[in-house]
Structure 1
Amino acid sequence: MKKLGINSPYTYALGMLAMMIPVQAFSSFYSYYYIDKLGLGVGLATLARTIYMVWDAVNDPILGYLSDGTRTRWGRRKPWIMAAIPLFMASFVFIFSAPQGTGDRQLFTWFLIALIVYESVAAILWVNYGALFPELFRGDRLRAKASAIQQGYQIVAILIGTALTPVIFAWIGFSGMAWIYASVFAVLMLLCMMTVQEDEEARKEPPLKMLAAFRETFKNKTFWIFNIANSFAQTVNGLLSSAIPFYAKYSLHIPESQVSVLLAAVFLSVIPLVAFWYWVVRKLGGLRGWRFALLVYALSVIPLWFAKGLGGGIAAGIVVGLGMSGFLVTPAVLNGQIVDRDYEKTGRRREGIYNAVGGFITRSSGLLSALAFWCVGLLFGYVSGNDPGPNADQAFRTLISVIPFLLLTISYLVSLLLKASDNPTRHTE
């Protein structure tokens, strides 16, 4: 008899809750912390992200291959995740504990080292946690349900990581906030791993050789179109999260104490809309549901340009919630289909390498986000919190509305390259 909670979508989603609380706090406030609070120049912050992306280009695919080839009595993914838990805690605290009163060179060095360590450990977690999804949940219907539950947990985490974070760091500082979130992460991730039971048959299959594994992955046209489209949309997620504190300060002209209210309005609206997008996927299928979500997301960012004050920001944020929720729910079904088709072809379940390479493509959005931040800053004269320039209002309206609309339009157009005939066979059991 199956143990209660084993491989349940609800207990598996605890891992998403665990990781997304600190990850969302990082993506929303690391720029604000280093650039506006500590005074690091936008150009240096962008340079650090660029250096990291070079490392990430090598790091992620190798992690995926190693994960697929792991054979232990505890599973392929769980040993990696368990080993990464204390490392992630330490790296998250490190990144928000920069020394005060240092020059740009010392602050840049601290940021670069902290970024490389933090993101490398985070990659281990995401590669292995994400690789569990197609293995534990088979078939479009179960995957759509599991994805909806997972994204519901993710929105709760986003809400905590964005709306609650300013309250916490105003109370005990950024380092104190990091200690709290690191501890919460550890407890929730351990609970998740206690309920995960990997497929024993997958561990019996001998892994593909490295060159063959990468060759099969890189020549998969459907995989590339899907992930390139997602990378542009993921850039928007990062831009919205990181730009909202700036947008609130310079465009809406609301005090820092009200930023949590604005963030709560954006992300609370997403939670009930997850159920709507689950229904959309069931009606339209994985491909059309995903494509429709990209289109809705593109239209939803337009009202942010016109918002005035806290009330206008809240109204525009609720509209954004409709588009964001669609992009959070819909990709998982199509990604699972891609992995299933690869298994039919190769006879190996290679979720790790697909999740790693796909994760690198979508995480390259971090570089796009940083470049967008830098270019808009140059265009409108914003340098840092110490030197915001004369057009900070227009800068952050552009960054939070115009740039996301253009990126999502590109994402939707790329998605049209994926024809119905290229779509992996749907499994409805």
Structure 2
Amino acid sequence: MKNPEPAPLHLTLPNRLSYGLGGAVYAVKEAAYVMFVLLFYTQVLGLSGTATGIVLSLSLVWDAVSDPMVGSWSDRYKSRWGRRHPFMIYATVPMGLGFVALFAPPEFVLDSQLWLAAWLLGCSLWIRTALTFFSIPHYTLVAEISQDYHERSALMGQRTAFLFLTTLLLPSACLYFLFDEGAGGDGRFVASNYVTYGWLSALIVWITATACIAGTWKFIGHTRIDPRRAPSTPGFAGLWLDFLSTFQNRNFRNVLAYDLGATAAYGITVALNIIFWTYFWELQATETGLVLGLSVLIAVPIAMVFLKTAGRRMAKHDIVKWAVIVMLLDLSWPYLLRWFALIPDNGDPLIFAILVIQNAIFMSFFILRIVAITSLTADLTDEHEAETGLRQEGGFYAVLQFTTKLGGAVGPLYGGFALDMVGLEEGMRPGAVEQSALDALVWIGAAAIVPLMLVAFYFTFRFSMTEERLRQIQALIARRRRDE
């Protein structure tokens, strides 16, 4: 006898907020690896840029195994707590401890490049594995608790808002209060400050993950499904077959190709941004913190207003197209103004204002592109069920996460290579690096970012999902269930 389908939920603002808090958990990792790990391990601890880039990229290779395994496992998992929440619960404490270890390596590893690289790799594998067990099941909830085309975007909007607010406000506040100029000089180059940052990261993970789990507990019934709708291929090989089966969907294949290009470009951008702000624009730590904080406080409301207005009249694939165009144009204009001597020298307040505006524009449209693509993926899980008869939300989001992380692996790898190529060495301070080297660093970044963004733009024309099409798909699925 098949299990009865739970009644549709009427989602309230507290429901959306509790789901969205899961984005903050993921954001703690993003904040650490985007803003501090490359700087900490190269410029403070003395690990070479190339070694750091290779290690960070190797840790992402593990995601090639863990993401699809966890996604497929959660799709077929059965318990009284549903398919998703047990994974989230067991991941929370280990994840926080990983951040403590990452930013407090023991003394015995500091004198050896090999041991220091090994410590970074071990901590990164630990953190990423725990995060996979939390974030993949959390991601999939959006496809299970709502069937509405726009409601899914609203849920993903909340998740993305928390993700970006935490990703940027956490390092922003720490740059302003923890890494500021003190008796020991520039706080970004003081190792003990990173120990405090590691504990703060752990505390935020534990609080937000617990709140998210408690707030989404009422959705457990919606994660239980008729076993006939879940993948059932036995064994370890079956998990991989579940993973590979998601590629049957043509729309999804093109989404992945787009996301790989866009995420690789973004990974390089954020890996180099902190270097550009520190050395090319010569911002102080407090100024860098304010650029991050102000830009995200501007960007998140703009993106949320857009989703509630124009976003409800635009198809998700069209939002992605425009986001790519705007982000590509936005990355270049401050550097063009500098090279054509149309803006004042570093230190002028106008430089600070330009960087806030640029980053706010970029973040606004990056948020929109993430919301659109992750919400569209939820719709594609319905399309996949219509085509195959199986619900594989975990598999779909695991594959999307994998391509996102694979693209992100390019960032630290390429960034570390670029630092070594231009000769940016341990302990160098702003103002001590030749301008020609900094200009070369910008061109090295652009040589990778621009082609990758153009590839992503090409693939935005090869996938689509409209509200009308989704309703047709869901009506077909409903008719099949009634006929069973």
Match of 2:139 in 1: 130
Contact 1:225-1:414 at 8 Å conserved across structures: yes
TM-score by length of 1: 0.90
**Offset at residue 175 of structure 1 (A):** 1.5
Instruction: Measure, in 2, the Cα distance between the counterparts of 1:139 and 1:349.
Output: 17
- Equivalent in the alignment of 2:61: 54
Partner of residue 212, structure 2: 192
Deviation at 1:70, TM superposition (A): 0.8
TM-score normalized with structure 2 length: 0.80
Q: Are residue 353 (structure 1) and residue 360 (structure 2) matched?
A: no
Instruction: Call closer, same or farther: CA 1:318–1:224 in 2, change over 3 Å.
Output: same
The answer to whether structure 1 residue 367 and structure 2 residue 367 are counterparts is: no
Partner in structure 2 of residue 178 of structure 1: 198
Q: Which residue of 2 aligns with 1:142?
A: 151
CA distance in structure 2 between the aligned counterparts of 1:341 and 1:48, rounded to whole angstroms = 38
- Specify the code of the residue in structure 1 equivalent to 2:114: R
Unmatched runs of 5 consecutive residues or more in structure 2: 1-6, 181-191, 339-345, 475-484
How big is the shift at 1:378?
Answer: 4.7
Q: Residue 243 of structure 2: which of 196, 207, 214 is its match? A: 214
State how many pairs are aligned. Answer: 428
Q: Name the counterpart of 1:232.
A: 261
Partner of residue 335, structure 1? 377
**Change beyond 3 A, Cα 1:161–1:236:** farther
Q: Is the 8 A contact 1:46 1:374 kept in 2?
A: yes
State whether structure 2 residue 393 is matched by structure 1 residue 393: no
SS at match of 1:203: coil
Farther-moved stretch of structure 1 (112-121 vs 309-318): 309-318
Change over 3 Å in CA distance of 1:427–1:400 after alignment to 2: farther
* Matched letter for residue 213 of structure 2: M
Q: Distance in 1 between matches of 2:57 and 2:302?
A: 35
User: How many angstroms apart in 1 are the aligned matches of 2:468 and 2:394?
Assistant: 19
* Corresponding position of 1:71: 78
Q: CA deviation at 1:54?
A: 3.1
Query: Which residue among 88, 92, 100 is the counterpart of 2:95?
Result: 88
Q: Would you say the 8 A contact 1:302–1:405 is kept in 2?
A: no
Provide, for residues 81-133 of structure 1, a one-character-per-residue CA deviation record: whole Å limited to 9, x for no partner.
00000010111111111235422122111111111111111111121111111
Alpha-carbon RMSD across the aligned residues, in angstroms, is 2.9
Give the letter aligned to residue 17 of structure 2.
Answer: Y
- The question of whether the paired residues in 1 share the 8 Å contact of 2:49 and 2:420 is answered with no
Deviations 1:13-62 (A, max 9, x none): 11112331343233221111111211111111122133323322222111
Aligned equivalents of 2:381, 2:10: Cα separation in 1: 27
Question: What residue number does 2:316 align with?
Answer: 286
> Do 1:301 and 1:405's aligned partners in 2 also have CA atoms closer than 8 Å?
no
Q: Which residue of 2 aligns with 1:167?
A: 176
Residue pair 2:19, 2:158 contacting (<8 A) in 1 also:
no
Q: Residues 102-113 of structure 1: matches in 2 within 5 Å? A: 102-113=111-122
CA distance in structure 2 between the partners assigned to 1:215 and 1:147 by the alignment: 25
User: Matched residues in 2 for 1:330 and 1:251: separation?
Assistant: 33
**Do 1:148 and 1:275's aligned partners in 2 also have CA atoms closer than 8 Å?**
yes
SS of the counterpart of 2:79?
Answer: coil
Counterpart CA distance in 2 for 1:403 and 1:162 is 26
* Unmatched tracts of structure 1, length 5 or more: none
Q: Does residue 318 of the first structure (1) align with residue 325 of the second (2)?
A: no
Q: Aligned pair in 2 of structure 1 residues 375, 424: CA closer, same or farther (>3 Å)? A: farther
CA deviation after TM superposition for structure 1 residue 311, in Å: 3.4
Cα distance between partner residues in 1 of 2:116 and 2:427: 15
Following superposition, the deviation at residue 389 of structure 1 comes to 6.2
Q: CA deviation at 1:232?
A: 2.2
Would you say 1:295 and 2:325 are equivalent positions?
yes
Distance 1:423 1:384, change over 3 A: farther
